[in-house]
Chains A and B, each alone.
Chain A
Amino acid sequence: MMLARLALLPLCLAAALPLHAQAPARRLAVAPDASIRILNLAGSIRVTGWDRDSVLISGAPPPGGGTLLAGGSERGVKIVVEADAATDLRGTDLEIRVPRGARLWVKSATATIAIEGVTGEVEASTVTGAITVRGAPAVLVAESMEGDLDITAPARVSRLKTAGGAITVREAANEITATSVSGPIRLLDARAVSSGRIESVSGRLLFNGAVQPGGSLDLQTHDAPIDIFLPARQGAVVEVTAFGGKAINRIPGLASSPGKGKALQYRLGNGRARVVARSLKGDVSLRQQMTRPNP
């Protein structure tokens, strides 16, 4: 292993090296927690964590479509596709394996981004490409202007943002912030949210899952509906403020009492979690989680 690393070291320390279209997969030795920065504007980027201290890069631009540059050191690697012309829309499909604990930074314009099995910090950003993340990154920051975010990655901290794209999060846990302007946001099978802020202007919000005892969840829209599905055993104080819309309670036997301002308050079980939902014009509905949990 050490000999292999030494043999690869000159490659890693050299300035960025062009990889041509016909080149086979390239491998760079890195530390288990190295920073990996990837930029590929169009096409696709697939990153998979593996249990090796190296980065493996497959894929290359089409002939005349640009140059793939990769280089850096044991602590950090940069992988960049430089298009020959800004108008070249053919794109490059990259497949990259990185150490599981790597810190990952991925950026695209239209390229789709798929990340799986990385446990370090992950930051992914795109304009119109979709972002998919699977696994358990320590921290996840994902952002798009129009692309959808599809996340199944219960990170310690998640910050997700789109303007017009949809955000879907499965098995959300811990601390999560998800915001959009017009895109819908759905949290499905949320397991144990300790602190959540889910906010949109005109995108519909759906929360289906559990909030930790002592945890808090805030949901807010301007004119879109908010649907909240809580498990039967959820203990929470739920405050609902629907100014122009309706507050709809579909939990059998649950009565409301006046809360702060115009809010209606509902107490579930021991009331140890706090859920707040407010909308200026949208309806807010409160329901018990169904046997089939994801409507």
Chain B
Amino acid sequence: MNCNELRDRIDDAVSGRLAPAELAAVEAHADACAECRSDLEAARALSIPLAQLPRAIEPPPAVWHGIEARIRARRRRTLPAIAAALVLMAASSAATVLIMRDTPSEVAAAVPALEADYIEQAAALSGVLGAERGRLAPETIETLERNLRIIDEAIAESRAALEADPGDPDLRLLLRASHEQKVALLEQATRLAREL
């Protein structure tokens, strides 16, 4: 088993849906790979609270304002990154659970919730990046903004395609991939601003 295969099975592994042999293969790989072991442990830590969550939540706008205020107040370097990582793991796990378990009509209803997690995380990272923006060169900011525009257009088009055909699993993957690209790019820019 390799890292990608483990990641594909991580949700099933923590929720007890893997056959014993497959679970043993996951454990064996995690024993030998520190990164996957860390992912597996993090997923296990999240699995019990995740199971207790409602299937969809529409967060009120005040929630984000509160998060933003706390991030700005603390200005601590590690906590926002950890929080962002936890949100990403939760979002990824929740999205996988939704995609793998639900019927097409349930998936269609869940699309806004699926996107909301990524949108919230991108907003959190944008807030952190905004505070660090002065550390980046103007050309880097231009590159970042150009590529964010490309991703945002892709998200809009993927969302429209999925709204027209909500049951298509490939369209869900494409929409999710664009959101993940945006979060990854914002994380990369934030890291660069801090480290250089």
Contact partners of A125 in chain B: CB under 8 A? 192, 195
Whether B174 lies near A220 (C-beta < 8 A) is yes
Secondary structure at chain A's binding surface: helix, strand, loop or mixed?
A: loop
Contact partners of B144 in chain A: CB under 8 A? 145, 163
Q: Which of B5, B151, B174, B196 contacts A181 (CB 8 A)?
A: B151
Q: Which residues 173-204 of A have a CB within 8 angstroms of B? A: 174-175, 177, 179, 181-182, 194-195, 197, 199, 201-202
B106 at the interface (CB under 8 A from A): no
Whether B143 lies near A164 (C-beta < 8 A) is yes
Q: Which one, B66-74, B77-85, B107-115, B183-191, is touching chain A?
A: B183-191
B178 at the interface (CB under 8 A from A): yes
Task: Decide: A223 near B154, CB < 8 A? Known: A163-B147, A199-B177, A261-B170.
Answer: yes
Whether B143 lies near A201 (C-beta < 8 A) is no
Contact partners of B181 in chain A: CB under 8 A? 179, 181, 199, 201
B171 at the interface (CB under 8 A from A): yes
Q: Which of B170, B195, B196 is packed against the most chain A CB atoms within 10 Å?
A: B170
Whether B4 lies near A201 (C-beta < 8 A) is no
Closest CB in chain B relative to A131 CB, distance in Å: 14
B24 at the interface (CB under 8 A from A): no
Question: A159-170: contact bitstring with B at CB < 8 Å (1 yes, 0 no)?
Answer: 001011000000
B169 at the interface (CB under 8 A from A): yes
Alpha-carbon separation in the docked complex, A175 to B35 (Å): 14
B163 at the interface (CB under 8 A from A): no
B173 at the interface (CB under 8 A from A): yes
Q: Which of B174, B189, B196 contacts A107 (CB 8 A)?
A: B196
Contact partners of B121 in chain A: CB under 8 A? none
Contact partners of B137 in chain A: CB under 8 A? 109, 127
Task: Decide: A175 near B170, CB < 8 A? Known: A145-B189, A161-B188, A280-B161.
Answer: no
Q: Which of B151, B157, B168, B184 contacts A281 (CB 8 A)?
A: B157
Q: How many residues of B contact A (CB 8 A)?
A: 33
Closest CB in chain B relative to A186 CB, distance in Å: 19
Whether A181 lies near B147 (C-beta < 8 A) is yes
Q: Which residues 132-185 of B have a CB within 8 angstroms of A? A: 137, 139-140, 143-144, 146-147, 150-151, 154, 157-158, 161, 168-171, 173-174, 177-178, 181, 184-185
Q: How many residues of A contact B (CB 8 A)?
A: 38
Closest CB in chain A relative to B193 CB, distance in Å: 10
Whether B3 lies near A222 (C-beta < 8 A) is no
Contact partners of A146 in chain B: CB under 8 A? 139-140, 143
Whether A202 lies near B140 (C-beta < 8 A) is no
Contact partners of A263 in chain B: CB under 8 A? 170
Alpha-carbon separation in the docked complex, A118 to B154 (Å): 38
Q: Which of B169, B173, B177 is packed against the most chain A CB atoms within 10 Å?
A: B177
A292 at the interface (CB under 8 A from B): no
Q: Which of A164, A260, A280 contacts B147 (CB 8 A)?
A: A164
Interface residues of B (CB under 8 A from A): 2-5, 137, 139-140, 143-144, 146-147, 150-151, 154, 157-158, 161, 168-171, 173-174, 177-178, 181, 184-185, 188-189, 192, 195-196
Interchain residue pairs with CB less than 8 A apart (13):
A125-B195, A128-B143, A146-B143, A181-B185, A182-B147, A201-B154, A220-B173, A222-B154, A222-B157, A241-B170, A243-B161, A261-B168, A280-B158
